[in-house]
Chains A and B, each alone.
Chain A
Amino acid sequence: MIRRQRWLGPAMFMPAVAYILALVGVPFVMAFLYSVSDAKVGSVSYHYVGLQNFISILHRPAFIRALQDSFVFTITSQVLVLIGANILALSLKDAFPGRRFFRFLILLPWVAPVSIGSLGWKWILDSLYSVISWVMVRMHLVNQYDTPMWLGEPKLAMMSVILVHTWHMLPFATVIILAGLTAIPKDIPEAAAVDGAGFFRTTFQITIPMMLPIINVAVLFGAIFTFTDMTVIYILTRGGPYDTTQVIPTEAFFTGILGSDLAEGAAISIFLVPLLIIAAYIALRSAHRAEVT
Chain B
Amino acid sequence: MARRRLTRVLPGIMMWLVRIFFAVVLAFPFYWMLITTFKRNTDLNNLKNNPFLFNESPTLDHLKLLFNETLFPRWVMNTMFAGLIVVIITLVLAVPAAYALARLTGQWGAQLGIGIFLTYLIPPTLLFIPLSKVISFLGLQDSLWSIIIVYPTFTIPFSTWLLMGFFKSIPRDLEDAALVDGLTQWGAFVKLVIPMSVSGILTVVIFAFTLVTQEFVYALTFISSAAHQTVGVGVPTFLIRGDVYYWGSLMAACLITSLPIGFLYNLFLDRFIEGFTVGAVK
Contact size class for A? 35 or more
Cβ-defined contact, B277 with A111, below 8 A? no
B25, B112, B152, B185: the one contacting A4 at CB < 8 Å is B185
Interface code A31-49, partner B: CB below 8 Å = 1, 0 otherwise? 1001000010100000000
Chain B CB within 10 Å, residue with most, of A16, A84, A92, A131: A16
Name the CB-closest residue of A to B186. Answer: A8
User: Known contacts being A24-B127, A31-B126, A214-B280, is A105 close to B27, with CB within 8 Å?
Assistant: yes
Residues of A within 8 A of B180 (CB): 2
Cβ-defined contact, A119 with B236, below 8 A? yes
A87, A94, A117, A216: the one contacting B29 at CB < 8 Å is A117
- Does more than half of chain A's interface fall in helix, strand or loop, or is it mixed? helix
Cβ-defined contact, B19 with A217, below 8 A? no
User: Known contacts being A13-B96, A92-B19, is A115 close to B232, with CB within 8 Å?
Assistant: yes
Cβ-defined contact, B45 with A28, below 8 A? no
**What are 23 A-B residue pairs whose CB atoms fall within 8 Å in the complex?**
A8-B185, A12-B189, A13-B100, A28-B130, A31-B126, A31-B127, A88-B18, A90-B18, A91-B22, A112-B259, A114-B216, A115-B236, A119-B250, A129-B51, A167-B25, A176-B273, A221-B276, A224-B121, A228-B126, A234-B220, A262-B133, A270-B126, A289-B279
Interface code B83-119, partner A: CB below 8 Å = 1, 0 otherwise? 0000000001110110111011100011010101011
- What number of B residues sit within 8 Å (CB to CB) of A? 106
B170 at the interface (CB under 8 A from A): no
Chain B CB within 10 Å, residue with most, of A8, A167, A249, A257: A8
* Among listed A60-68, A149-157, A275-283, interface-contacting one: A275-283
User: Known contacts being A111-B269, A113-B214, is A291 close to B30, with CB within 8 Å?
Assistant: no
Cβ-defined contact, A284 with B26, below 8 A? no
Cβ-defined contact, B128 with A120, below 8 A? no
Residues of B within 8 A of A287 (CB): 114, 278-279
B23, B149, B265: the one contacting A102 at CB < 8 Å is B23
Name the CB-closest residue of B to A6. Answer: B104
Name the CB-closest residue of B to A184. Answer: B281
Cβ-defined contact, B104 with A20, below 8 A? no
